[in-house]
């Protein structure tokens, strides 16, 4: 079996008396964090050329993936993207100023508003999704598709159990 940078940490964890189950959890945590960092860095490098931050990309991508007219409520965006309402509000202000989204009244609920992509927002979202897809492909180049599928399925099983828990 080949070794990665996380394997180099295991002997220190073992020497400090950590249990094998805790070591396995730490390995999982470190490897998922490392993969996420690689994906984010690759995507950020591409979307920067489009003048977007990662949070702005995330919001535009979420809106672009909804059916026409590509709109959601801010609370739906926050929930879908794991952002705070304040964080979502800040991103939406920047995207509105850039002309990528617009706010519209919700005729069904006077207390809420819709956030909707503009034509320019859809254009930039589509371009960003394309470069983000290429960035993901580049990160995973050389990894067999079956291995990626197996890892994704295994992580789903983990998240179905631990994803429901509240963490303080």
User: What would the DSSP string read from start to end of 7-61?
Assistant: GGGHHHHHHTT--HHHHHHHHHHHHHHHHHHHHHHHHHHHHGGGT--HHHHHHHH
Residues 6+ apart with CB under 8 A from 71: 63, 104, 114, 115, 116, 117
pLDDT at res. 152: 96
Chunk the chain into consecutive blocks of 10 residues (it has 168) and report each block's average pLDDT, rounded to whole numbers. 90 94 95 95 95 94 93 88 84 94 80 89 97 96 96 94 74
Residues 6+ apart with CB under 8 A from 56: 91, 94, 95, 100
How many residues are present in the chain? 168
pLDDT at res. 164: 76
- What is the β-pairing status of strands 101-105 and 113-117? antiparallel
pLDDT at res. 29: 95
Domains of the chain: 20-162 (1.10.10.10)
pLDDT at res. 85: 82
pLDDT at res. 111: 74
pLDDT at res. 24: 95
pLDDT at res. 78: 87
Three-state DSSP state, 84: coil
The predicted model scores a pTM of 0.82
Three-state DSSP state, 85: helix
Which residue, among 126, 133, 130, 131, has the nearest Cα to 100 in the 3D structure?
126
Task: Find the largest Cα–Cα distance for the chain.
Answer: 63
| Alpha carbon distance 95, 131 (integer Å) | 19
């Amino acid at each position: 079996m080949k070794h990665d940078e996380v394997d180099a940490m295991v002997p220190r964890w073992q020497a400090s008396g950590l249990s094998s189950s805790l070591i396995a959890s730490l390995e999982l945590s470190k490897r998922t964090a490392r993969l996420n960092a690689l994906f984010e860095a690759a995507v950020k490098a591409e979307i920067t050329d489009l003048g977007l931050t990662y949070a702005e990309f995330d919001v535009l991508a979420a809106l672009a993936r909804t059916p026409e007219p590509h709109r959601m409520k801010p609370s739906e965006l926050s929930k879908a993207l794991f952002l705070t309402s304040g964080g979502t509000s800040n991103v939406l202000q920047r995207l509105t100023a850039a002309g990528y989204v617009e706010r519209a009244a919700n005729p069904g609920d006077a207390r809420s508003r819709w956030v909707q992509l503009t034509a320019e927002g859809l254009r930039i979202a589509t371009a960003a999704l394309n470069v983000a897809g290429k960035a993901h492909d580049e990160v995973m180049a050389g990894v067999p598709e079956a291995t990626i599928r197996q890892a994704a399925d295994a992580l789903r099983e983990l998240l179905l159990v631990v994803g429901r828990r509240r963490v303080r």
